[in-house]
Structure 1
Amino acid sequence: MHENFIINPKYSHLAEKLKEVLHDFSHKGEYVTKGERNVIKMVQLEGISFNIKKFKTPNAFQSLVYKFIRKSKAKRSFEYASKLIDFGINTPFPVAYLEVFSGGLQESFYISEHIDYDFDFRELIHNPRFKKRNEILRQFTKFTFKLHEKDVNFLDHSPGNTLIMDHGNNTYDFYLIDLNRMRFEPMDFNARMHNFRRLWLSKTMVKIMAQEYAELSGKSFEETHALMLKHSRAFQKKVNSKKLRRKK
């Protein structure tokens, strides 16, 4: 069995303490989420809060793929977060990752700084009367435009993966999480509009966001609106028909 532990130089003084926590993960920290696939816990060290994500143990075939062919989700999360920060895009600061190999990959963990956010994008969907909703949607569109301009194709651009901080006086910061599915590539206009599809936007939301994106990109509102709506509807239809099939 061997391990690969990589830590950001900013936190190298905590390397041993963090490793200790990871090696006793089931007994340390408090649960943030306890999903079927991944578990997230929060720990405090020297007055700083960290989130630790333990990825699902891969099956025998996947564990070899992660050893020889593909980077682990933990490594990708760490590398992509570092890249986003270099681009001036917010994401919880990447602290470290650990991979444990025995034959193939057995376990992997990703550590980031914990951020106290105010709400996530889901709340804007569920509550049409959310305070300053239109303004937040416009600023979120600006944020997504910045991603596209920096050639960031965030494949999991979905409601639970953007955390929002409200600074008061109409300023909001957006933080991307769950980063392991991302491509860095130039995106044409169709690909950009396709990138909005997972956000589960209502017609009103599409209207507001298409208007903002059209202004930023220099495209017409009509073209922007038609494409964004087309991709959103197609995705929602696909998900809903899958749910129906499962029920039957």
Structure 2
Amino acid sequence: MKYIFNPSFQSSEKRIKTCVTNFDSEGKLFGDGQRNKIKLYDLGDKTINIKSFKIPNLINQVAYKYFRKSKARRSFEYANRLIENGIGTPQPIAYAENFKFSGLEESFYISEHLLSDLTFRELVLHPEYPDHENILRQFTKFTFDLHEKGIEFLDHSPGNTLIKKRSGNQYEFFLVDLNRMNFHGAMDFEMRMKNFNRLTPKTEMLAVMSDAYAKLYHKKYDVVFAKMCFYTNDFQTQFHKKIARKKKLLFWR
């Protein structure tokens, strides 16, 4: 197993390696673990989060060995780039990769576990959530800051932003599930609007985000709202078509 550590956690290498080695038999499961499995472990006065990525198929095993960085490595490297850019994400600790002759098998991303007050999903599911509009506007400012720094978070979806409340009705935002991300010199208007397409199908939420973004970007609200709705509707259409195709395939099994 190959390990790369954040220098700040090198004193904990032995403990972390033990957690990874015993991943199948130790640790507290976090989430449903249907695709990738996440477990929590104590590390002194901290809790760490170890994400075990699903073993890739044979083609991807080879690809991750010779042509592409693994999801674990990308998660670690992207987390460090986010922090360098002043963007919130749980502190990256290490990543581990287990290569066999055929290619990549096991891989793990290790980070500090962040306790949040909510995720963006709560805003979608509970429109009556306290301070809903204020949180949504601050989230839009957070996304605008990402875009201004050329960061395109490809999995900008409801469960991937953790939100912590601070004093004075201020909120902090932290990105998770980081392995799909692009870094640009600049992001144009179309790219920015498309980056909202996975967040919510609710028109009233898109209206608030469009208003906040238009003011930050110095563009007319109607233009921002129309484009944000266009990309959201397109994503929803493609998503539901995909679900329908899966149902048909399952029906014939």
Contact 2:120 2:159 in 1 (8 A): yes
Letter in 2 for 1:124: L
| Alpha-carbon distance in structure 2 between the residues aligned to 1:122 and 1:53 | 21
Encode CA deviations 1:42-69: one digit per residue, 9 max, x unaligned.
Answer: 0002121000000001122211110100
Aligned partners of 1:66, 1:7: CA distance in 2, in Å? 20
Partner of 2:3: 5
CA distance in 1, matches of 2:13, 2:224: 48
Q: Percent same amino acid among aligned pairs? A: 48
Pair 1:93-2:91 in alignment:
yes
What is the aligned partner in structure 2 of residue 21 from structure 1? 19
Residue deviations 1:139-179, cap 9 Å, x none? 00000000000100000000010011012421101100000
Aligned pairs for 1:138-217 (under 5 A) are 138-185=137-184, 186-217=186-217
Distance 1:233 1:215 in 2: 23
The TM-score, its normalising length taken from structure 2, stands at 0.95
Evaluate the alpha carbon distance shift between residue 130 and residue 81 of structure 1 in structure 2; reply closer, same or farther with a 3 A threshold: same
Contact 2:200 2:206 (8 Å CA) reproduced:
no
Residues 58-113 of structure 1, C-alpha deviation per residue, up to 9 Å, x if partnerless?
A: 12221111010000000000000000000000000000000011111111000000
SS at match of 1:56: coil
**If the length of structure 1 is used for normalisation, what is the TM-score?**
0.96
Superposition pairs for residues 30-179 of structure 1, below 5 Å? 30-103=28-101, 104-179=103-178
- Work out the CA distance in 1 between the residues paired with 2:37 and 2:31: 6
* Matches of 2:147 and 2:216, distance apart in 1: 11
The number of residues matched between the two structures is 246
On the 8 A contact 1:210/1:221 being kept in 2, the answer is: yes
2:241 & 2:66 partners in 1: Cα distance?
A: 37
| Aligned AA (1:90) | G
- After TM superposition, the structure 1 stretch with the greater mean CA deviation from structure 2, 193-202 or 135-144, is 193-202
Q: How far apart are the structure 2 equivalents of 1:73 and 1:148? A: 22
Correspondences of 1:220-239 after superposition (within 5 Å): 220-239=220-239
Q: Which has the larger displacement, 93-102 or 163-172?
A: 163-172
For the residue of structure 2 that corresponds to 1:197, the secondary structure is: coil
Q: 2:80 touches 2:92 (CA, 8 Å); kept in 1? A: yes
How far the C-alpha of 1:28 sits from its partner, in A, is 1.7
Q: 1:84 corresponds to which letter in structure 2?
A: L
* 1:235-246 mapped onto 2 (5 Å cutoff): 235-246=235-246
Give the Cα separation in 2 of the matches to 1:184 and 1:154.
9
Give the partner amino acid of 1:173: E
Aligned-partner residue type, residue 33 of structure 1: G
Unaligned runs of at least 5 residues, structure 2: 249-253
| C-alpha contact 2:40 2:48 (8 A) present in aligned 1 | yes
Hey, what's the Cα distance between the residues in 1 that align with 2:230 and 2:76? 34
RMSD of aligned residue pairs (Cα, Å):
1.1
| 8 Å contact kept, 1:40–1:51 | yes
- Whether the 8 Å contact between 1:200 and 1:236 is mirrored in structure 2 is no
- 2:95 counterpart SS class: strand
Given that 2:203 and 2:229 are in contact with CA atoms closer than 8 Å, whether structure 1 keeps it comes out as yes
Q: Which residue of 1 aligns with 2:251?
A: none
Q: CA deviation at 1:237?
A: 1.8
